[in-house]
Amino acid sequence: MNVEKAIKNFQLRGYTVQHFATGAEAAAYLNAQIDNTTVGIGGSMTAQELGLYETLSAHNQVFWHWKEPGWDTLHQEITAKVFITSANAMTEGGEILNIDGRGNRLAGQIFGQKKVYIVAGTNKLCPDFESALFRARNTAAVTNCKRFPNKPPCQIDDKCHDCRSPERICRALVVQWMPMMDMESEIVLIDEDLGY
């Protein structure tokens, strides 16, 4: 993928972009930027791999349902002043795609926060929308589903069937073309394979 082209296109769409060689550098940057505030983390293997909950909890009030399950935590995540999430796929043209089952991650990314950080490895970059959608559905969503005891059809052959299973965890897709109005959105792009 052409990382520099993607960065330029994200910037042309209105995103602030930070680019790091390693996850450790990105985590240190986020730790320095986010201080003495409330932070919500949407379901994100990338955030987990970077240890953001532990790092940021030292000097912020951090809400993450992966660490403290429950509806109260989910609500606090999406009403925090800062929201951290990742992407299921991103295009070189600057589009960001995310699939969700409950909607908390999508809600936190597109409404109500003072600032949103979209933290992603360059493995999420795709050349165009069609390949990004394929990645979101057939790589990210299918792999994510394996974390749960659910058994929708994708668990059998590792591909999306656009099923009607009551156990389906991919229930909504959001495509961001630009940062949402009245919210700061920053992309933290890392030259590592992170998350799904």
From the list 137, 138, 134, 125, the residue with the least C-alpha distance to 96 is: 125
Structural element, H or E, at residue 162: none
- CA–chain centroid gap for 144, Å, is 12
Cβ-based neighbour number of residue 56 at 10 Å:
23
The two structure tokens encoding residue 51: 């240890």
Residue 73 in contact with residue 65, Cβ under 8 Å?
A: yes
The two structure tokens encoding residue 60: 């912020």
Q: State how far the Cα of 86 lies from the Cα of 45, in Å rounded to an integer.
A: 8
Q: What is the pTM of this model?
A: 0.94
- Which residue segments constitute the domains of the chain, with CATH numbers given? 3-190 (3.40.50.10420)
At 1 the pLDDT is 78
Backbone angles phi, psi at 84, to 5 degrees: -115, 130
Residue 99 in contact with residue 88, Cβ under 8 Å?
A: yes
Q: Kindly report, residue by residue over 11-57, the tens digit of the pLDDT.
A: 999 999 999 999 999 999 999 999 999 999 999 999 999 999 999 99
Mean pLDDT score of the chain, rounded to an integer?
A: 95
At 122 the pLDDT is 98
User: Nearest 5 degrees, angle CA 87-CA 174-CA 103?
Assistant: 85
